[in-house]
Amino acid sequence: MPVTKFSTPEKYKYQNGFGSYHETEAILGALPIGSNSPQKPAYGLYTEKLSGTAFTSPRHENQQSWLYRILPAASHTPFVAREATTYNTNPEGEKLHQIPNQLRWDPFDLDLESDWVHSLQLVAGAGDPTMKSGLGILIFAAGKSMKPEEAFYSADGDMLIVLQHGVLDIQTELGWILVRPNEICVIPRGVRYRVELPEGPVRGYILELYEGHFKLPELGPIGSNCLANARDFQAPVAAFDESPEGEVYTILSKFNGHLFTATQTHTPFDIVAWHGLYYPYKYDLGRFNTIGSISFDHPDPSIFTVLSAPSPTVGTAIADFVIFPPRWLVGEDTFRPPWYHRNTMSEFMGLIHGDYDAKTGGGFKPAGASLHNIMSAHGPDAGTHAKASGAALQPVKVGEGSMAFMFESCLMVGVTEWGLKRCQKVQEDYNAESWVPLPKHFVMREGMQKVSNRVDGDATRGAGDIGASVNGKGATAEMDGKSLPHYT
């Protein structure tokens, strides 16, 4: 069924479409007709432009929205530095640790004391938000709603939020969004929002994109449909608050990994109408239309890409968001889990719920994570390999009741001191349990012929006296009834 059955019912209306030009008004007539900035906007509102790209970006990449609000966002006191934060890319002189070891984390703890802003923990990342390059990977675990008179925004990048536990009721400047497990939400750079926790503590993962914006991946020979379809993305409709007399509001800003605050005497959630291409949105992962091989071999995991943030190199991403949903496997004479591989891309994986089909033994759990950095060898653990190698090759549905995901990047991802040590969640025996136990099956037996790579014609190799006779240039050696050419 191409939708998720949620235990928490939806409570808001949305506008549908990824990258669509939307317009919405909470009071009829609030949107101007035929112009963007009239001399006197309707109802005494102020016009404000929110730009997610440079004004001169190509039309197909340009993301801007026009806002019609009670008071402009600029009306606040100066920002001042607040307490030290947990998501600074370089807190107190600490550095990111770029290491080739495979890493895996136990589930991260729920935090009953922190609100959304103070629960954010930078685990890993690459690049620099001041240069608008790279990404950050964060864990959140909050137990309290933000105060009604607070709003938060990140100037560092777009936040792709993957909820693992609980429910997020998010009031954004442009309207409300409800996020439940198996849904994702993207809050663009600069958009102010407040997070309520209607069902208690929450936990999950965030990919913060310092560079560019997320797009739907190109489909190429797949055609015009499948994977994540544009119609299934949902953007909020306009909704606004009015400010009680004498109320003071606090704006919290994540700016180069540091927290700043300012105050104002009006609510930040006062946008009565808006139109444009720059807005928050959400997506139900249960609507992803999975494709795969129906003959043989395991396709590349790129076929599971939901959203992509391309780099200047065609076909290479600063960040891909990839999922591994329930799906049918029918390949003949095929090792069905992912093959062993070393990848020029870094792979950070998380698990929303269920069991991931490429791991056994319970080491990879919901709310946990793993990181296989650039060219770090990985693949199915020993138990999974043994099971898959002997499985009956009949149609089977894998991942039933499960949803794993991956943040993939062309960048070498470094791990913070918190992620490597202070969180105390790193599994020290990950490699020893997963791949060291793999047995050696290869044995050179009598009758096997080993082809020579020598140019002197001496091809006597192998187990016992099983040499292959080579008779000069272009000669062949018999191997399992097939003639194999030799070249000098």
Residue-wise pLDDT tens digits, 216-257: 999 999 999 999 999 999 999 999 999 998 899 999 999 999
> Residue 357 — very low, low, confident or very high, per pLDDT cuts 50/70/90?
confident
- For the chain, the residue count is 488
* Candidate list 76, 118, 298, 372, residue with the active-site label: 298
341 is in an annotated binding site: yes
Question: Tens digits of per-residue pLDDT, 41-52?
Answer: 999 999 999 999
441 is in an annotated binding site: no
> Residue 487 — very low, low, confident or very high, per pLDDT cuts 50/70/90?
very low
Stretch 322-344: mean pLDDT: 91
- Catalytic residue at 97? no
φ and ψ of 372, to 5 deg: -115, 100
Most confident listed range (30-34, 453-457, 477-481): 30-34
Rounded distance between C-alpha atoms, residue 114 and residue 121, angstroms: 11
378 is in an annotated binding site: yes
Domains with residue ranges and CATH for the chain? 287-434 (2.60.120.10), 443-488 (no CATH)
What pLDDT, on the 0 to 100 scale, is given for residue 478? 44
Stretch 433-450: mean pLDDT: 91
Burial class for 246, CB neighbours closer than 10 Å (0-12, 13-18, 19+): exposed
Q: Which residue has the tokens 């997506």?
A: 283
What pLDDT, on the 0 to 100 scale, is given for residue 337? 84
What pLDDT, on the 0 to 100 scale, is given for residue 90? 53
218 is in an annotated binding site: no
